[in-house]
Structure 1
């Protein structure tokens, strides 16, 4: 199943099984059976259908949504090796820590809100009839050190644009990780038919604005006094890149 494909179901039971897994990120098979009103035979039949259709995947008795959106790519700079790959549920704690590391050093309100959303929903990847959210992560020695996030609206009239955020831990900056993450998200959006990605940054975040401008993003609009930061009203710069 692709991230641009809106989920549709052949039965109410299929929908309920998928939605429970989607809301929870990952679910043990035996726990899923406990929360649905189905016989073991019916459960097995509906689960097999969802897996055959690509809606769910099962690994070692653990179920997750079958959203596929990219390969694992290794990079080797002069003094650092890192990997960029699709995010998964097991990255949850590392993502939260990385986002908080970035937002503690610079004002990035949208990223802060994403961290809160992750904590509230307890799921890295979301894909339902209303919203789709995905991450690519950068890892060093298996630890998450950066992310790029794409928020993909499922409303038909908004499906051409995607919100993208990106961030890298201070300790590993200067190795091109942020540029690779940003480009990975852009390439995925372009390959899947999106015409524009956008990002909103407080005007006081000079580093982020310089980074995005350097990578070909343009200022679409400025919302005056959109944030209140340290007791002062701060403008929001709405950046975008046409694909």
Structure 2
């Protein structure tokens, strides 16, 4: 599905949140690899589960065609600096919900890009009959957990010792959900 682009100016940065286009595919492939290497908050390490340009084109095409999928990008200075996806399913019993994920290049943290991607995703979901948004977040990512809670997400479960980080320790993952009645 597609949404109308929105422009934001936060902390002297002007950026646009818009639906992903097939022309974004190569840039998205590069940005995803970079983000994965900048933080341990993501599931992947740099280069793992690599998606090339054609893979992203296929994802964008599919997300555009499906009514319960949404692929957003944040664009600043003519480049993609972050993105988010809401992915639903065609299964009738689970068609009321989507899974949300977001990532932003580290040099653009502090400009509310993740927050705006979340807000736009929630608005889209609420406007299109999606009743539940689910996500997973590493327990150590307290800033993200607090943001999600401010938007009505609750911890629904904990995957104990779910991820091993570079310090050799295991960490829990919070499963969070927001239900719109």
Extract unaligned runs of 5+ from structure 2.
Answer: none
Answering whether residue 131 of structure 2 is matched by residue 195 of structure 1, we say yes
- What is the aligned partner in structure 1 of residue 87 from structure 2? 151
CA change 1:177–1:111 in 2 (3 A) is farther
TM-score, normalized by length of structure 2? Answer: 0.81
1:180-206 per-residue CA deviation (whole Å, 9 max, x = no partner) reads: 111101111111111110111222333
In 1, Cα distance between equivalents of 2:31 and 2:64: 26
In the alignment, what sits opposite 2:55? 121
Q: What are the ranges of 5 or more consecutive residues in structure 1 without an aligned counterpart?
A: 1-67
Query: Partners of 1:222 and 1:83 in 2: how far apart?
Result: 34
- CA deviation digits over 1:31-62, x for unaligned, max 9? xxxxxxxxxxxxxxxxxxxxxxxxxxxxxxxx
- The structure carrying a bigger helix percent of its residues is 1
- Describe the superposition over 1:193-237 as per-residue Cα deviations: whole angstroms up to 9, x where unpaired: 111101112223333323323333211110112233344332211
Pairs within 5 Å for 1:76-115: 76-77=9-10, 79-110=12-43
Residue 107 of structure 1 deviates from its aligned partner by 2.3
2: distance between equivalents of 1:139 and 1:131? 23
Report how far residue 97 of structure 1 moved.
2.9
Measured after TM superposition, the shift of residue 141 of structure 1 is: 2.1
Once the two structures are overlaid, the 10-residue window that deviates more, 96-105 or 152-161, is 96-105
> Which one has the largest radius of gyration?
1
> 2:66 and 2:113 mapped to 1: Cα distance?
31
Query: RMSD across aligned C-alpha pairs, in angstroms?
Result: 2.9
Q: Deviations over 1:129-171 (max 9, x none)?
A: 9996431111012200111111111111111110011122121
Residues 31, 82 of structure 2: 8 Å contact kept: yes
What is the number of equivalent residue pairs in this alignment?
Answer: 175
Correspondence 1:214 to 2:150: yes
In structure 2, distance between residues paired with 1:208 and 1:233: 19
Could you say what secondary structure the match of 2:88 adopts? Answer: strand
Deviates more, 1:122-131 or 1:92-101: 122-131
Q: Give TM-score scaled by structure 1 length.
A: 0.62
